[in-house]
Chain A
Amino acid sequence: GAVVSQHPSRVICKSGTSVKIECRSLDFQATTMFWYRQFPKQSLMLMATSNEGSKATYEQGVEKDKFLINHASLTLSTLTVTSAHPEDSSFYICSASYPRTGGNEQFFGPGTRLTVL
């Protein structure tokens, strides 16, 4: 149980285009989903926390107008990278929060590798 899917797994796009990444919890309802970015050889960087039916909470330094997050249902959250530029090339990973005793465990999607040319 607690499977999270992410689509697409890889995307290559031209500079200036927008890219949408979907994150789905397949066998549980996730009230909270998280979006991370990871640059090569670095740790995960939390970009935003997304709660179903409300606006996402963005971490300091993350532009909310550039990284649009929509958490439309308890099983789906989307991240749209608008007007992508080469510096946005990164590994984007979502996770969904699954309640467990004493805290909420996060289950990760497989990640989306974005390359902006």
Chain B
Amino acid sequence: GQNIDQPTEMTATEGAIVQINCTYQTSGFNGLFWYQQHAGEAPTFLSYNVLDGLEEKGRFSSFLSRSKGYSYLLLKELQMKDSASYLCAAMDSNYQLIWGAGTKLIIKP
């Protein structure tokens, strides 16, 4: 079956770095997405990886290893506004997104 695993909750300190891991198993693969979702709001797009390696976008970076079925989202210089849920989603061969349950990130001062 298709499955996405990511930690339920993580806590980090303002100004620090945090890495949120995601492992996936899908029927075919057409890329890995990361979305940010603040409480009560819809998800917003953060990153898309389809090739192995690290993609950097400002304070946020995303890494993909297709052979390992693994991705991570790296957040640097954490700010209080980064407190949110981070959703990992893998796109299967039918271009359907398979969603993880999300990782709730709590930032402490």
What is the 8 Å Cβ interface bit string for chain B, positions 39-69, against chain A (1 contact, 0 not)? 0111111001010000000000000000000
Q: Does A60 contact B (CB under 8 A)?
A: no
A105 lies within 8 A of B48 (CB): yes
Residue of A nearest to B48 (CB): A105
A44 lies within 8 A of B99 (CB): yes
Residue of A nearest to B104 (CB): A41
**Interface class of chain B by DSSP:** loop
Residue of A nearest to B35 (CB): A108
* Interface residue ranges, B against A (CB under 8 Å): 30-31, 33, 35, 40-45, 48, 50, 87, 91, 95-97, 99-102
**Interface class of chain A by DSSP:** strand
Contact (A44, B43) CB under 8 Å given A49-B96, A103-B50, A103-B91:
yes
B101 lies within 8 A of A110 (CB): no
Nearest-Cβ distance from residue A16 to partner chain B, whole angstroms: 26
Range of interface residues on chain A?
A: 20 to 34
* Interface residue ranges, A against B (CB under 8 Å): 6, 34, 42-44, 46, 49, 91, 93, 97, 100, 102-111, 113
Q: Pick the residue among B31, B95, B96, B99 that contacts A43 (CB under 8 A).
A: B99
Q: Pick the residue among B43, B91, B95, B101 that contacts A108 (CB under 8 A).
A: B43
Task: List the B side residues contacting A113 at CB < 8 Å.
Answer: 40
Contact (A103, B87) CB under 8 Å given A43-B99, A49-B96:
no
Task: List the B side residues contacting A46 at CB < 8 Å.
Answer: 96-97, 99
Contact (A105, B100) CB under 8 Å given A44-B43, A110-B41, A111-B41:
no
Task: List the A side residues contacting B33 at CB < 8 Å.
Answer: 105-106
Task: List the B side residues contacting A102 at CB < 8 Å.
Answer: 30-31, 50
Nearest-Cβ distance from residue A107 to partner chain B, whole angstroms: 7
